[in-house]
Structure 1
Amino acid sequence: MVDSLGDSLDRALESAFTRRIPQSAQAQMKYLVKQLKGTKAAAQALGISQRTVERYMSGKLKRPRQDLRGRLEREVKKRWQPQVRAKARKKAASTGGLVVSTRARFGFTAASGTTDDARIRDITQALPPEFAEQLFSAREQGANEDQLRQIAADGLARMYFRANNTRAHGLGVEFTDVERLDIEL
């Protein structure tokens, strides 16, 4: 299964972390309880009972099932080093931009007689800060995958296919059948 663009954005921000997340289930659970200000909130976030959270915190339970381990790690990563995450996002949105590396089907719409059939392409392209800001803002506001993909398609259309709008004016790009998608800051 291909990662969503939103997951790729999250992973890109995680690459800026200066320290590893807590490694043991007990340490992760303690961190999550502290961040969510209580065992009840942590239990709700993880979809388990409050008593189970308490058992992990006390060390009575040590090895969570694989699905719980994944949920616990995701919830901790979401909250880990918020200042570092914010700083990386600000840098990408103001000066650094981001790099999109993808293997997907790209098709074009243009004036009649000038369109190109869609085909799979491998593209690695730096996008300017304005697209980083649009992607992060849309992600924060709960945009769905299609909306995020449209922002990325607009950025790739401008920077890759239209060479920063110096050629192929009016060329529209369709971004579908994503096989691979990675984002780096």
Structure 2
Amino acid sequence: MLDDFYTASIAEALDFADTHHWTRQPPRSDSARLRFLATRYAELGALASRLDTKPRLVKEVMKGRQSAPGSVLSQAIAKDVVRLWQPRVRRRAHHLISTGHDGMLVHFKAWFGFTGAAGSSDDGRVRHITERLPMAYAARLFQARYRNADEGELREIIADAVGEAYFNVSPRGKLHWVRLTDIVYIQFSY
């Protein structure tokens, strides 16, 4: 569906990782995808707003009278389908990961490290890291995603999790020792 999926968004990367647990494939054409999405939104205007287009164009594409112009709209439709497809299957997979039956692996290239003394080996810099996340952080990440937390909060959770696994430091209260910024790309597997 998203063959060349490449994102700096943690929320989108989580959604894409969920695709590996689907039991059925989503609709393939843009018009069929829009008909599916229309069942998830109260009104066509809200769907059009989400896709950053006009309701009239959504209606035309949905009816098959017009194809989605350009790959930007087509990709926005596909990403929203990925976000909403098979929520029960997604939650079941998240439960297994959160309870320790399976693990979560994160792979990213980003500015990562301590905001500390320049020149130390732990000082922040662009790093290419693959790390298994501690179980408790996977549960926190999924809970934050369910309530549509912003990217900043998701980054703090990932920074704390990878900081604990990579540097062996835990955050204390609201103090986040490790920072994750300027994400080039991020992927999850579970």
> TM-score w.r.t. structure 2 length?
0.75
| Corresponding residue of 2:94 | 89
SS in 1 for 2:39: helix
1:22 to 27, 32, 53: 27
More displaced 10-residue stretch of structure 1: 137-146 or 147-156: 137-146
How far off is 1:149 after superposition?
1.4
How far off is 1:108 after superposition?
3.0
Residues 1-185 of structure 1: pairs in structure 2 closer than 5 A: 3-36=8-41, 39-95=44-100, 96-108=102-114, 116-162=122-168, 172-185=177-190
1:146–1:61 CA distance, 2 compared to 1 (3 A): same
Higher helix proportion (structure 1 or 2):
1
Matches of 2:115 and 2:185 in 1, distance apart?
23
Matches of 2:127 and 2:49 in 1, distance apart?
42
How far off is 1:129 after superposition?
2.0
| Corresponding residue of 1:168 | none
Opposite residue 187 of structure 2, the aligned amino acid is D
Per-residue CA deviation, residues 31-65 of structure 1 (Å, 9 max, x unaligned), is 22233365455444434444433333332223433
Opposite residue 130 of structure 1, the aligned amino acid is A
Matches of 1:103 and 1:72 in 2, distance apart?
26
Matches of 1:18 and 1:125 in 2, distance apart?
27
SS in 2 for 1:71: helix
More displaced 10-residue stretch of structure 1: 40-49 or 7-16: 40-49
SS in 2 for 1:59: coil
- Unpaired segments ≥5 residues, structure 1: 166-170
- Unpaired segments ≥5 residues, structure 2: 1-5, 171-175
Opposite residue 87 of structure 2, the aligned amino acid is P
> TM-score w.r.t. structure 1 length?
0.77
Matches of 1:43 and 1:159 in 2, distance apart?
41
Computing the radius of gyration from Cα coordinates, the structure with the larger value is 1
Opposite residue 126 of structure 2, the aligned amino acid is I
- Superposition CA RMSD, Å: 3.0
How far off is 1:116 after superposition?
4.0
How far off is 1:132 after superposition?
0.8
How far off is 1:134 after superposition?
0.7
1:119–1:77 CA distance, 2 compared to 1 (3 A): closer
How far off is 1:70 after superposition?
1.9
Matches of 2:179 and 2:92 in 1, distance apart?
32
> Is this contact kept in 1: 2:8–2:183, CA < 8 A?
no
How far off is 1:122 after superposition?
2.4
Per-residue CA deviation, residues 75-134 of structure 1 (Å, 9 max, x unaligned), is 222221111111112122222231111223333368xxx884333332211112211111
Matches of 2:153 and 2:113 in 1, distance apart?
17
More displaced 10-residue stretch of structure 1: 135-144 or 37-46: 37-46
